[in-house]
């Protein structure tokens, strides 16, 4: 692969990945019952509103699950997958791109969750002096996973090992769930 192709892959991965992350957060924030008036929530809603709102007529939300934002995230990641494979000279058909895009979207969700848990752990040691609008959002997005794990683990003298267990489970999910779905999609490309 040429240097320009490698640079193109990096640009596609980062730029489209950030764009897809907005739509994944658009799905996750209502599920976590995040404060709508938080500046981060406001940014996510305003950035995704022009795309999500017209699609809501066709893809109605299911409870608090924003199906239109989830579909847009999947579509964006699928386009990214198709573009990266095209840049690498390995074209994917529509079916293969959709399956690999689905796997990568799930992988993005897991990566975001992993990163949020890691930031939560770091912030628990630092204890920032000022109030950050990100902290309540991070707590609301990670607590649904950490609370059940906390109940499974014994009390170890004030140490909370649920983030460590959650990060281990996320890593295992990437290997045992995401990788086989990706392999299935790539098998469809042959």
Res 129: pLDDT: 58
Res 190: pLDDT: 75
Gap between the Cα atoms of 156 and 169, Å rounded: 20
Q: What SS3 class is residue 156? A: strand
Res 137: pLDDT: 94
Gap between the Cα atoms of 100 and 95, Å rounded: 9
Q: What is the pTM of this model?
A: 0.91
The tokens describing 121, both together, are 């752990």
Res 126: pLDDT: 82
Which residues fall within 8 angstroms of residue 138, CB to CB, at 6 or more apart?
116, 119, 120, 123
**How confident is the model over 42-67, as a mean pLDDT?**
94
Judge whether 177 and 120 are in contact, CB under 8 Å.
Answer: no
The tokens describing 153, both together, are 């683990």
Q: What SS3 class is residue 60? A: coil
pLDDT digits (tens, 9 = 90+) for 67-118: 999 999 999 999 999 999 988 888 888 999 999 999 999 999 999 999 999 9
pLDDT digits (tens, 9 = 90+) for 136-162: 999 999 999 999 999 998 877 778 899
Gap between the Cα atoms of 22 and 40, Å rounded: 11
pLDDT digits (tens, 9 = 90+) for 30-39: 999 999 999 9
CA angle 114, 40, 148 (to 5 degrees): 40
């Amino acid at each position: 692969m040429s240097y320009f192709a490698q640079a193109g892959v990096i640009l596609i991965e980062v730029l489209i990945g950030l764009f897809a992350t907005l739509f994944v957060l658009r799905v996750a924030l209502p599920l976590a019952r995040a404060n709508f008036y938080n500046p981060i929530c406001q940014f996510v809603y305003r950035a995704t509103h022009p795309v999500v709102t017209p699609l809501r007529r066709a893809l109605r939300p299911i409870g608090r699950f924003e199906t239109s934002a989830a579909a847009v995230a999947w579509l964006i990641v699928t386009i990214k997958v198709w573009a990266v494979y095209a840049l690498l000279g390995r074209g994917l058909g529509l079916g293969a791109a959709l399956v690999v895009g689905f796997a990568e979207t799930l992988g993005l969700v897991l990566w975001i969750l992993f990163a949020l848990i890691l930031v939560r752990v770091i912030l628990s040691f630092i204890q920032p002096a000022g109030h950050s609008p990100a902290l309540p959002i991070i707590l609301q997005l990670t607590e649904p996973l950490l609370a059940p794990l906390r109940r499974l683990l014994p009390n170890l003298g004030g140490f909370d090992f649920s983030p460590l267990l959650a990060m281990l489970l996320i890593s295992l999910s990437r290997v045992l769930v995401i990788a086989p779905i990706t392999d299935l999609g790539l098998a469809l490309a042959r």
